[in-house]
Amino acid sequence: MNFEEREALINSLKRDVIEMPAQGTVKVNFGTEGIYKIIPHRPPFVLISSITAVNVEAAIIEVTSIVDPNDPVFAGHFPGMPVYPGVFQVESMGQAGLCLSYFTKNNTTQIKETSEPVKGLFTRVHNAGFNKGVKPGDVLTIRVKSIEDDDFMGLMSAQVLINNEIYSHSILEVYYP
């Protein structure tokens, strides 16, 4: 992706919601037990709550994240005006991206008992932007779309949405060791 293409994608991510195409999208309902089978994260750092839709052909996923109002981060970020840290939002997008990698690399919309976590490390955030503040108790919808992917690396665009409004967005690069 060249500079002009990346800038166009960033501008689009700020304004245009990543849509789940009607054709090929499978509604799913995988909770934390399923998530634990396909990504390596564990409490207290699993930031996504469920996987709700997958489109393997279009390489797009939708997950939810419930922002715990009792999360200790709110004591200091910021007292009297709590805001969910942007770095946690970007991490949530990255965790959703690893889930997407599982489904696309295995060409499936299922999680089997024998599934193993994706081996992927996010190495670069090409862009992160924040349009609105995420508050305690918010329910986030996170959508991630693969831009490029092979056995070595992947590039993904991602958004955090609340009520289909863009709250944050990023372009993430993942390395598959």
pLDDT of residue 141: 98
The structural domains of the chain, with segments of one domain joined by +, span: 3-175
Q: List, by residue number, the catalytic residues.
A: 77
Q: In what order do the strands lie in the sheet with 60-66?
A: 26-30, 50-55, 60-66, 139-149, 153-162, 165-175, 121-130
> Where does 3-175 sit in CATH, by number?
3.10.129.10
- CA 113 from chain centre, in angstroms, equals 23
The residues of the chain scoring below 50 in pLDDT are none
pLDDT of residue 6: 87
Alpha-carbon distance values, 60 to 57, 78, 104, 112, 153 (Å): 8, 33, 9, 20, 17
Q: For a pLDDT cut of 70, what percent of the chain falls above it?
A: 100
Look up residue 59 and give its DSSP letter: T
**3-state SS of the chain: helix, strand, coil percent to 5?**
25, 35, 40
Q: Which amino acid is at 134?
A: V
pLDDT of residue 128: 97
pLDDT of residue 1: 83
Tell me the sheet residues that pair with 172: 125, 156
Helix (H/G/I), strand (E/B), else coil: 111:
coil
